[in-house]
């Protein structure tokens, strides 16, 4: 079973079936979904329910579930680490995250990701974690830079919501670099 992660302002916990309506309310927003490669657009309540149900069933496995990012009991977004086997430009654990638009620009994602990555590295999931952002998502790239991720290259990635191929910046973070950033 995975644990609850606490930071200064936030609580990260595994998604629960009861989170589906809130996930839908936050994620069914073009300004959020456009930065992802795989979700459908338009995003439906059925999509949210299916995703949350799958994540809740996998809550026992850190690499197969998503955590709700909450503040004062209110779900604000999500974060996860998945073992990639379908993305040729990334292998091994891949960090993914999102926040509802109303929560942008307040340092929540950097705080959540720092706490989550500390937990993941302590769980010895891997010594290297990869991530990436579409090149036009400068805010997300800035979050990764603050966490110590380094750019390791660029690829072209198909974005299902946008219906096209876009430049993607691939990043990676080592346990050592994260430890140095957090010290």
**Residue 54: its pLDDT value, please?**
92
Assign 180 a pLDDT band (cuts: 50, 70, 90): confident
Query: Whole-angstrom Cα distance, residue 181 to residue 139?
Result: 19
pLDDT digits (tens, 9 = 90+) for 136-167: 999 999 999 999 999 999 999 999 999 999 99
Considering the domain 5-182 in this protein, what is its CATH number? Answer: 3.40.630.30
| Lowest model confidence (mean pLDDT) among 85-94, 101-110, 149-158, 173-182 | 85-94
| Closest C-alpha among 146, 70, 60, 136 to residue 103 | 70
The answer to whether residues 143 and 113 touch, using CB atoms and an 8 Å cutoff, is: yes
Condensed to tens digits (0 to 9), the pLDDT of residues 41-85 reads 999 999 999 999 999 998 888 998 999 999 999 999 999 999 876
Nearest 5°: the CA angle 18, 7, 97 is 55
**Lowest mean pLDDT, pick from 66-70, 90-94, 101-105:** 90-94
Span 91-109, average pLDDT: 95
What pLDDT is attached to residue 79?
Answer: 98
């Amino acid at each position: 079973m995975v644990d609850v992660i606490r930071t200064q302002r936030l609580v990260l916990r595994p998604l629960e079936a009861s989170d589906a309506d809130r996930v839908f309310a936050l994620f069914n927003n073009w300004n959020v979904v456009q930065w992802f490669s795989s979700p459908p657009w338009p995003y439906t309540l059925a999509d949210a329910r299916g995703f949350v149900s799958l994540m809740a069933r996998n809550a026992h496995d850190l690499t197969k579930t998503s955590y709700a990012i909450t503040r004062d009991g209110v779900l604000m977004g999500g974060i996860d680490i998945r073992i990639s086997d379908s993305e040729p430009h990334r292998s091994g654990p891949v960090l993914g995250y999102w926040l509802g638009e109303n929560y942008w620009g307040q340092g929540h994602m950097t705080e959540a990701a720092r706490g989550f990555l500390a937990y993941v590295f302590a769980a010895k999931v891997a010594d290297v974690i990869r991530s990436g952002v579409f090149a036009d998502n400068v805010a997300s790239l800035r979050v990764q830079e603050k966490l110590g991720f380094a750019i390791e290259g660029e690829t072209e990635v198909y974005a299902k919501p946008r219906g096209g191929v876009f430049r993607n910046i691939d990043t990676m973070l080592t346990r050592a670099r994260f430890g140095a950033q957090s010290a």
